[in-house]
Amino acid sequence: MIARDRYSRMVSLLKVAFPLGALALLSTLFLIARAMETDTPIPFADIEIQERLRDQQITGPFFSGTTQTGDQMSFSAEKLITLQDNVGKNRAEEVKATLRTTKGATFELQADVAELDIAGNSALLSGAVSMATSSGYRINTEQLTSQISTLDVTAPETVEATGPLGELTAGNMRIFAPNDGENTQMLFSGGVKLIYTPK
């Protein structure tokens, strides 16, 4: 009986002590906590805010599809911008693209910037442009133009390449798929220099 009374008094005491302890802890938190700074500026510069309001932007865009000739294509970028008053024209940054032809050839492209003109069926890649092919070629140039719906890529400026034959330099280059269904062709022209490395 005495033990039961002691237990009951202990329970009654804890019912009062726990809420009081909780109130004490909350009071301590409010006393220690610093006042929230409400004057912290938004972490965007005024110019960046104006650009975001003016231009439509997509972060991390990705799309894939098939060309008119059945080649598979995929495209990704860090950012895609639709410039004001230029509907159908976009500017992509840090671009990566892959093209797999129906004949089994693969082309992987990278560029700092790509300007896409959907209506004009064209893309202009610039900056540090590089291309790797499944045939073993690694091509570097400053600019590439390409059709979007078909495989037709042109490098109008100097091209430096390494491949199975060795090191190659040319004034320009074109990669295209003939209409008669032949395999993809790479055409180097404009003063071609080849340093042949026999195996």
**Co-location of 25 and 51 in the same domain:** no
**CATH code, 169:** 2.60.450.10
In a domain, 116, yes or no: yes
In a domain, 111, yes or no: yes
Residue 1 has a pLDDT of 55
In a domain, 87, yes or no: yes
The contacts of residue 107 (CB under 8 Å, 6+ apart) are 98, 99, 101, 131, 132, 133, 134, 153, 175
**Co-location of 75 and 144 in the same domain:** yes
Each residue's pLDDT tens digit, 121-167: 889 999 999 999 999 999 999 999 998 888 889 999 999 999 998 99
CA distance 57 to 187: 37
Rounded to 5 degrees, φ, ψ at 24 are: -65, -45
pTM score above 0.75: no
Domain that holds residue 178: 46-196
The count of domains in the chain is 2
**Co-location of 18 and 108 in the same domain:** no
Question: What's the average model confidence in pLDDT over 7-31?
Answer: 65
In a domain, 40, yes or no: no
Residue 37 has a pLDDT of 53
**Co-location of 19 and 57 in the same domain:** no
In a domain, 127, yes or no: yes
In a domain, 84, yes or no: yes
In a domain, 41, yes or no: no
